[in-house]
Amino acid sequence: MIQMNGSQVQERRKENVIELLTLQEVAALCRVSVATVKYWMAMRRLRAVKLGKHPLVKREELLRFIKAAEAPGPGRPAYLESSPSHV
């Protein structure tokens, strides 16, 4: 039998938790509008799950999206390649 102290049990629970973010939280973290987050979802760049009425984004999915935006080359979404028109 394996014995664990309280902090080990708490850490174990944290490992099994899937952190879900609202669209407002994603927008705040990315410093964009909620409309932009919805656009990313509509373009199938950012995946969300719907639990109840509102879509939620897994933290791991947001990290994947950000890494894809950082990656150079053909896998990078076209909207991130274009330069702003005002420059």
Q: Is the dihedral of CA 78, 30, 19, 50 positive or negative?
A: negative
Map out the domains of the chain as residue ranges.
18-71
Give the separation between CA 47 and CA 55, rounded to whole angstroms: 9
The label of the residue with tokens 């935006």 reads 69
Q: Which amino acid is at 67?
A: K
* Residue 58, both tokens: 């897994």
Give the separation between CA 5 and CA 44, rounded to whole angstroms: 43
Question: pLDDT tens digits for 5-62?
Answer: 656 555 555 666 789 999 999 999 999 999 999 999 999 999 999 989 999 999 999 9
The DSSP element (H or E) to which 54 belongs, if any, is strand 54-58
